[in-house]
Structures are given as C-alpha cells and as structure tokens.
Chains A and B, each alone.
Chain A
Amino acid sequence: MTDDIAKIVRTFIGEHVRDTELGDDHDIFATGSVSSLFAVQLVMWVERTFDIAVHPTDLDIENFRTVNHVVRFVESRRAATPA
C-alpha cells in the first residue's frame, strides 16, 4: 500500500519539480523546486486523489514538504478513518 501511495505521490510531484532530481526526502519548498502556489495545488490534489478530508489542523506545511511527508500524512489520515 505504502509503495503504491509513494509511486502516485512521486509521479505527481515529479511532474511539477523543476531543475532537480526528485528524491523522496527532497524538501521541494525549501529549495525552490516548485513555486509557492504549488503548495495549494498539492493539498487539493491529495484531498481529491486519496479521498481524504484535509482539516484546518492538517494545514501544516510539514505534512507536504517531501514525498515521504505526503505519504506519511495520507497513511495517517487513512488509518484514522474507519473503513
């Protein structure tokens, strides 16, 4: 499951990163790999793609900085939601 999520996240972020090789721990916002507006796009994409409700308290950039951060966030939200 984690591998599947990571693959989807890596592909999406990879399509938007410029000038760099994307590692799963690469902080895309600290290094200017993407524009700041991508942060909003990423949050909305996560909501839509994984059918997750992102609550106001989830709106912390620490949840979205790297591929691994996004994967961990998606998994934690899915674990918190009853099937």
Chain B
Amino acid sequence: MHSYRLALDEPVSGAHLDELNRRVYYISEAITGFRLVPGDGDAVDAVEVTTGYPVDAEALGKKLRHVVDTEVRPQLPTPPKVLWRSATDRTPRAGTFDGLLADGVVHEIGPGQVALGAPALAALDALDGLLRDIIREEFEAHEYRYPTLLPITALHRSGYLSSFPQHMMFAARLDGDVDTYRAFAEEVGARDTIGDRVLHRCAPVDRCLPPTMCYHTFDQFAGSTLPDENTVVTARGGSFRHESRYHRTLERLSDFTIRETVFLGTAEFVREARDRFRRRAVELVEQLDLAGRVEVASDPFFAGAATAAQVSSQRLLELKHELHLDVGPGDSISIGSFNLHEKHFGDAFGIKGSDGATVYSACVGFGLERFTYAVLCQYGWDVADWPAPLAERCRTTPRPGKGKR
C-alpha cells in the first residue's frame, strides 16, 4: 500500500467538504482509500490518498486540484436546509448489514451488487406497493415496464453523458463480423481473463444500462405532442450507476431498483405534483414511524464545464429535495428524491403539451433497496416487529434460513 498527501491550492470548508468527499474516488481508480486532512478550523487543506501500487503523485495532485478548483470551490456555499424532520425517537441498530449477511437475508454478489432474499425481498415489494398506492390515489399515472437496455441516444440528448460521465455503464456487443467472432473465440479460449480483450472488438456501442427510469419515459415521448394538458407515468426497473469505491452495503449499490414517477405538463402542475408526492411520502414515513428528514439536495454532476453552476442553481432554487432515513448513529441515506427539471427534458426530447408549448417536467424516484435497508436498520428483520402497514403486506413471507436476529 502506498500513501500520498495531495495538497490543495487553498483550503476547502463548509458545504464544499461534502462535494469534495463525493469526488475523490472518481479522480483516479488507483485510489483505494482517502482521508481529508484538516487544517485550521473545519477547513481541509490536503487529501491523503492510498493506492495499491506506486503512482505519479504530482500528476494525481494536479487532477485533484483541477477538480477542486473548477467544480468544488466555485460552487455557491449554500448552507444545508432541512424542510421536515421526523418526531420519532426510533434509532437504527448498528451492524445491520453484517447481521443480514450472517442470517442469509442478503448475499454480496460483487462490488455494489447485493442479492436480496426473504424477508427483505417481501419488504421491498411491500414498500413499492405502498408507493404505488400513493401514485394511484393522487395521480392518474400510466404504468409501464420498460426493457432494461436504454438507447444511448436518450442519454446523449438529455445531457446525461456530459453531466454524469462517472456513472455511465454501457451495454456493448461484439462487432458483427465473422473475423471478429473467430479471433475473439480463439483468444478467450486461451485466456483466464478476458476484460482487456473485449472492448476493442465491440461496435457499435448503441445501448447502455439506464441510470434511472425517467430516461425511458422521456425517450418514449420524444418528438410527440401529448394529448392531455398533464401526463403522469410511473415505472419500476433495474438502474445502474458505476459508483467506483463509494458502493456500500445496501446503501449505495451500482445495480439497484428504482420506482420512478415522471410528471409532464405545465410549470404549475409539475411543481405541485412534486410537492404533493413529497408530502404523501412524508406521511408514509410517519405512518411507518421511521426516523428521517427531508432536505434540499443536488445531483452528483461531475467533470463538466458547468458542474459548479449546475450544483449551485439546483440548491439555490431548491430544484431537488431528498428524503433521508436513518441507518446508523448520525448516519442516513437518501431513499427518495423529488426533482424539478424546468423545460430541460421537454426541450431536449422535443415533447410538447396539448397547447403546443414545450412541457415542463418533474420526477420522483425511490431507491427500493435503500428504502428496504433503512426499514431493516430501524426495525430488524423479523416481520412480526415491522410496522403494521408493512407487516400486513408481508404476512406470508418465509422467515430467513438462520432464524431471528
């Protein structure tokens, strides 16, 4: 293991620290661990990184300073803003993930990939059911089940590729030529590992794994005029984001499930719908007696020329709200987000409303594994201990193989 102290040009502090924390692993895959080095007060004036092999520390420091100077420090230092906080004194139990592993409720498959078994799986479906009840009661949503693979053109025209390149996961195939197939087959037959021998034989890379469901929805309506003034679409599906070394337990997966609802229509409708869904989600959290809060947030924009301005404007205009649930002492995860897009996607996908004007949009997404994990952290995994609205939906679920915690 090798350790390097990478100095910053100027100290970073306050709201900028979180923004620095969420970027370090994306600076280079060589980094296997890091620590922010405190200077005066709460300011940080260096990052100590560890790597598995010797690296050019000067080059690494230059990359870090470029990211800090262009993406972190120029952000407006908007203070944290909490919109709602639960009244419950429920506290999550430490060691939940280890307990779930030991009891066979979950299995780690790979980095950022976890298989769920009973009763976590029942909880996930039941929580999705409770969300679908809200969607049915409040909004006349059209429900779809989308194919997994998303045309890469959808992410290109949306701006995702240039805003979140660090999360991209492509679905490539071999170039369709018998010589390629023959050479590939011969080569992989003779090798134990194939990773570095695949990509140069792939073409075209025209599909990718969706980072969330709403891109399917925007692509579905691309170039169309919606017959109604306002339209609501909901879908649940596998979502994929490369998380580098930020993946953790069920809290941050690279392969997970999102229930997402998209609102298309007038500015007033999409804002009101976003806020109404947030209020109903808070009511659900109160009904389940879960500890958490709602706060203003921003998306993990990275490596783009406009990154700092995008983050700053999201926070200043409160375009993104997140519902956090507690998963440990002083530790919480965002299980849902409530987002306004203005006309960004309406313009990008050429979607018109019934009046012929470009639609406004909003979306509300829930990470179902995260929601489930927060419940398990706060209630354990004996269904009998779960809050009534959840337990009632899970009456027939089998108990985990190795008994009660």
Contact = CB atoms under 8 A, between A and B. Distances in A.
Q: Contact residue range for chain B?
A: 20 to 34
A59 B77 contact: yes
A26 B11 CA distance: 39
A36 B314 contact: yes
B318 A61 contact: yes
Interface stretch (B22-30, B61-69, B305-313): B305-313
Contacts of A81: none
A31 B267 contact: yes
Contact of B79 (A31, A35, A38, A56): A56
B313 A37 contact: yes
B360 interface: yes
Q: Contact residue range for chain A?
A: 10 to 19
A60 to B, nearest CB: 8
A40 B360 contact: no
B78 A35 contact: no
Contacts of A35: 342
A39 interface: yes
Contacts of A64: 316
Q: Which of B310, B312, B313 has the most CB of A within 10 A?
A: B313
Interface in A21-58: 29-32, 35-41, 43, 56-57
A56 B14 contact: yes
Interface of A: 29-32, 35-41, 43, 56-57, 59, 61, 64
17 contacts: A31-B267, A32-B267, A32-B342, A32-B343, A36-B342, A37-B310, A38-B313, A39-B313, A40-B309, A40-B312, A40-B313, A59-B76, A59-B77, A59-B79, A61-B317, A61-B318, A64-B316
